[in-house]
Amino acid sequence: MLSLYHDARTPVHAVPAGAKLLVLAVTGTVLFFVPSMVWLAVALAGVLGLSGLARIPWRTTARQVLGLAPFLLLIMVAQLLFTGWQSAIIVGERLLTLVLLANLVTLTTRTSAMIETIERALKPLRPLGVRPERVGLLVAMTIRFIPVIREQAELVRAAQRARGIERSTVFLVPLLIRTLRMADGVGEALDARGLD
């Protein structure tokens, strides 16, 4: 499975994942308290500038905005009707800026770097029995299991179709039981490889 990461060597890519997340959190909070159309436009332009600096293709950005478009439109129209055009623009700018910035962080940070950051953030929870080093292993296992589950689903469906049954609940149960059996097998394999 592909990651959303967009590979390039730019100053934006070089910023450590933790720092980018911090910037995103701070910006998100600050934007919320900025009621000025002009300053929000500056922020939006800034994020678009950073996207350019990170050499994110316009199409990638456009695709992300398109996903948000129905929502954005609905919200802006509602604001327009109830509170006026200024507030419609402010709300639109704010949401767009935040989503584009969040998207920029995702596009310029490798999945592995993000997972390392999560592991580091979880370290203080070690005394509670949390094992941060397991996160990466679990993500890798899940990615590996996705095609396996899909294949199992297709097998069950084919078997049922052959017998002339095609109902989702009937279908789901054998898939779940197969999956649970598989977990037993994988667990034994992990033990055999000495995973503590």
Q: In the bound complex, what is the minimum distance in angstroms from residue 1's beta carbon to another protein?
A: 7
- CB-nearer residue toward another protein: 45 or 172: 172
DSSP letter string over 26-38? HHHHHHHH---HH
Contacts of 138 (CB under 8 A, 6+ apart): none
- Residues, the chain: 196
- Residue 32 CB, shortest distance to another protein, in Å, is 8
Neighbours of 27 (CB within 10 A): 17
By beta-carbon proximity to another protein, the closer residue of 24 and 53 is 24
Q: Pick the closest to residue 113 from 22, 20, 11 (CA basis).
A: 20
CB contact set of 24 (below 8 Å; sequence gap of 6+): 101, 102, 105
Of the two residues 124 and 187, which places its CB atom closer to another protein in the complex? Answer: 187
Distance of CA 43 to the CA centre of its chain: 23
C-alpha 46/C-alpha 38 separation (Å) is 12
Q: Of the two residues 33 and 162, which places its CB atom closer to another protein in the complex?
A: 33
| Shortest CB 45 distance to another protein, Å | 18
What is the smallest separation between the CB atom of 77 and another protein, expressed in angstroms? 11
Tell me the CA distances in angstroms from 181 to 22, 162, 187, one per residue in order: 42, 23, 10
Positions that interact with another protein (CB under 8 A):
1-5, 24, 28, 64, 67-68, 71, 74-75, 78-79, 91, 94-95, 98-103, 105-107, 109, 111, 114-115, 118, 128-129, 131, 134-135, 137-139, 141-143, 145-146, 148-150, 153, 168-169, 171-173, 175-177, 179-188, 190-191, 195
Q: How far is the CB of 189 from another protein (least distance, A)?
A: 8
Least distance (Å) from another protein to the CB of residue 117?
9
Q: Which is nearer to another protein, 45 or 195 (CB)?
A: 195
Closer residue to another protein in complex, CB, 42/89 = 89
Task: Return phi, psi of residue 2, to 5°.
Answer: -80, 155
